Amino acid sequence: MNPCSNDQPKIFVSGSSWARGEWSGPRIIHRGLIQYFSDDGYTVIDAGQSRSWHSRVIDHLDKQLSQHYQHNDIVLFVMADPLLDIIMPELDQLHVKRTDSVKNLKNLTENILEAGGLIALVRKQQQHIYQHLNAVAKKHNTIIDCIGGTYNVNTNLLDQCSNLNARVVSWIDLLIGHLREYPGIGDPEVGVTYTWGIDYINLDTYQPEFAQQVRSEFECLSHYSPMLRELIFHPDGLHPNREGHKILFEHLKEKLYL
């Protein structure tokens, strides 16, 4: 599509910190996808929120779509850790931050037990998130293109949502999947937990066998965290840098025929 044409779509970029650009410490130093699409002549709506979680970001996106969406606009949503939708509200209630020394979150611990494990809770939360996002897409009669961020797009669950499209199952795979150190990183079930620790879970409240299951599942979710040593995730070692955003931008332009 010619960026100068009258029917040029606007680009909505939504998600939490991975959707916002390159970070150095607490600051965004390059606006990533937003900047690249803007430089390419597109009107870009920044519909993301830093240091947030899916349900809040989706509600924010809903408001932005209500104000700015027109037929054929493109809506991109970068997925994050689905358990943050449990963790972040609980931390807010306790008036603490993830950077603080956090232990034994009651709500998280209880939700893991109720779901039957950490992995089961991840899938349960993903379903809630996808359903919420799908409802917003239906409300505005659009398709939302999902991009796997810290957690890949779980296509095993997304099929239930007719207004969501797995545009990029794994941004991480796009960046480092060619490296032999990270086999299987593009699998739809893969996620990378690195912003919170096992101490958030009160394992002492579980039966020993279940506690060991949860420990093993946490190790599984943390398995790929060494990837953050790769230069594509620096300067801060937590987010894709401007080069990582450029790779995604070029991939999206090709896949969206822009």
Say what the alpha-carbon torsion angle 50, 52, 55, 56 is, to the nearest 10 degrees: -70
| Spatial separation of the C-alpha atoms in residues 188 and 191, rounded to whole Å | 8
d(CA 69, CA 153): 24
The closest alpha carbon to 244, from 150, 167, 159, 155, belongs to 150
Mean pLDDT of 4-11: 76
Q: Is the pLDDT of residue 62 over 50?
A: yes
Contact 52, 58 (CB under 8 A): no
Contact 176, 230 (CB under 8 A): yes
92-120: per-residue pLDDT in tens? Answer: 999 887 766 889 999 999 999 999 999 99
Domain boundaries, the chain: 11-255
Query: Residue 123: what pLDDT?
Result: 98
pLDDT for the residue numbered 6: 55
The structure's pTM equals 0.95
**Residue that wins the pLDDT comparison between 17 and 257:** 17
104 φ/ψ sector (left φ>0, alpha ψ -120 to 50, else beta): left
| Mean pLDDT, residues 174-203 | 96
Question: Residue 199, Cα to own-chain centre: how many angstroms?
Answer: 23
Q: What is the mean pLDDT of residues 111-132?
A: 98
Distance CA 190, CA 223 (A): 10
Q: What is the DSSP letter of 9?
A: P
CA distance 78 to 16: 7
| Residue from 215, 252, 231, 213 nearest 33 by CA | 252
Q: What is the mean pLDDT of the chain?
A: 95
Q: Which residues of 162-180 are buried (b: 16+ CB within 10 A; e: fewer)?
A: ebbebbbbbbbbbbbeeee
Tokens 């600051």 sit at which residue?
27
pLDDT at 4 (0 to 100) = 43
Does the domain made of 11-255 have the CATH classification 3.30.450? no
Mean pLDDT of 54-71: 98
